[in-house]
Structure 1
Amino acid sequence: MLSRRLLLALFVIAGLASPATAFEAGRAGWPDTALARLQAYALVQTLNAELLSNPSATLTLDRWCAAHRLAPAGAKVVADRVRDADKPADAGIRELLGAGPQERIVYRRVRLACDGLVLSEADNWYRPALLSEEMNRELETTDTAFGRVVRPLGFSRSTLSSRLLWQPLPEGWEMGTPIPATPGGPLDMPDFLLEHRAVLKLPDGRPFSALVETYTRGILAFPPPP
């Protein structure tokens, strides 16, 4: 992970404090330059660090969306439920959740979006017996993001794994290995850039949700500096 000092230096070089907004300027592509690759890597690592240090991915994405002006002021992340998806909890999920073989586990798949821009896709297995009736009803009948619904629980987040799915820099770049670039061409990003696996826990330590979150290239859908 990049040091705070290096991240700050990259941001200053990149001009990331510019008042120009992605919403106003259009969700432009990134050029394939060495600097753009450094900027992209720094930003993905920044989001990674924020997710690791906060219990709610939804609220973290709210702040990311606002900070990078991915939508008009005041816009919030919403959950687009994939209603025809079903992945019954296997033995591994039940073990993570501390649930017996007969306990009901609900599966919920969503796409978290900011002003229509999908920032992540998430698989969520949760224990409805540990939630209130009102929470369960909201989760079953609305598209409200899970983190927003269960926020009153005061939950914590235990990250099981954090994995970069895209490496814009070659191994050894910090030791002088040349950074590949295609002058005049676009920076080719895959659909998904980062994956987190996590468990949410009640204040008493009981796990109630197991998550697999995959973050899309939408997290970088703002124009880089010229």
Structure 2
Amino acid sequence: MSGCAGPGDASSPDGAAVRALNDRLERHPSATAVLQEHCGLPIRVVRLPAQEQPSGDILLLLDVQKADQIRTRHVQLLCGDIPLSDAWNWYVPERLTADMNHVLETTDTPFGKAVADTHFHRQRLESHFPDPATGIVLENRAMLRRASDNAPISLVVEDYLPAALKPQP
């Protein structure tokens, strides 16, 4: 289930920057670490309300039977006060340690950092390059899989904003 639609004008400087961002994200399991490369300050994570229930598609991808087996985390990643991305994580708490779940539920720690001890890898499912009028330059959908047994631990949908394309002070 892998797909990739190209940026509207691939020859434009922004199109090249979007492709470069997408390439960096494909090579690294942690989106936060990729964004950190272009931010002079530590990336800030701000938790946002997450009332959405997981769809049947999400249950299937995460290999669970019931919605109550999944938790949802919605965050915005910022460089200082500049928003870089908006991310939704649907994750399976039973596939994480109690400490990891505690960090995810009670702090603004980036998801990848909170679950780093799983030595997860990122499996890109699809990338989209929305119309620039949406304010989103790239949308990625990926599965994070635990290294020990390849079990899916999280489905993530990340919307990258224009500020993610250029270094921030």
Category of TM-score, reference length = shorter chain: 0.7 to 0.9
* Correspondence for 2:154: 209
Partner of 2:124, secondary structure, is strand
Kept in 1, the 8 Å contact 2:46–2:108? The answer is yes
1:163 is aligned to 2:163 = no
* TM superposition score normalised by structure 1: 0.65
Structure 1, unaligned stretches of length 5 or more? 2-36, 66-70, 168-188
Partner of 1:64, secondary structure, is coil
Partner of 1:122, secondary structure, is strand
Partner of 2:163, secondary structure, is helix
Residue 87 of structure 1, CA deviation? 1.1
Structure 2 distance, partners of 1:147, 1:213, is 13
Structure 2 distance, partners of 1:129, 1:45, is 35
Kept in 1, the 8 Å contact 2:38–2:167? The answer is no
How many residues were matched structurally? 158
Kept in 2, the 8 Å contact 1:196–1:214? The answer is yes
* Correspondence for 1:109: 74
Structure 2 distance, partners of 1:221, 1:54, is 18
1:78 is aligned to 2:44 = yes
* TM superposition score normalised by structure 2: 0.85
Structure 2 distance, partners of 1:102, 1:164, is 29
Structure 2, unaligned stretches of length 5 or more? 5-10
Residue 190 of structure 1, CA deviation? 4.8
Partner of 1:140, secondary structure, is helix
1:199 is aligned to 2:147 = no
Q: Deviations over 1:84-141 (max 9, x none)?
A: 3311112110110011226521001000111121110011100011111111111111
Residue 149 of structure 1, CA deviation? 0.7
Structure 1 distance, partners of 2:79, 2:72, is 23
The residue correspondences of 1:38-77 to structure 2 (distance < 5 A) are 38-65=12-39, 71=40, 75-77=41-43
Structure 2 CA distance for partners of 1:102 and 1:190, relative to 1, 3 Å: closer
Structure 2 distance, partners of 1:198, 1:192, is 17
Structure 2 distance, partners of 1:220, 1:89, is 30
Q: Which runs of 4+ in 1 moved over 6 A?
A: none
Structure 2 distance, partners of 1:46, 1:166, is 18
**Structure 1 vs Structure 2 CA RMSD:** 2.1
Structure 2 distance, partners of 1:88, 1:97, is 14
Give 1:98's aligned amino acid: D
Give 1:41's aligned amino acid: G
Structure 1 distance, partners of 2:154, 2:134, is 28
The residue correspondences of 1:1-226 to structure 2 (distance < 5 A) are 38-65=12-39, 71=40, 75-82=41-48, 84-101=49-66, 104-166=69-131, 190-203=134-147, 204-220=149-165
Give 1:120's aligned amino acid: S
Residue 151 of structure 1, CA deviation? 1.3
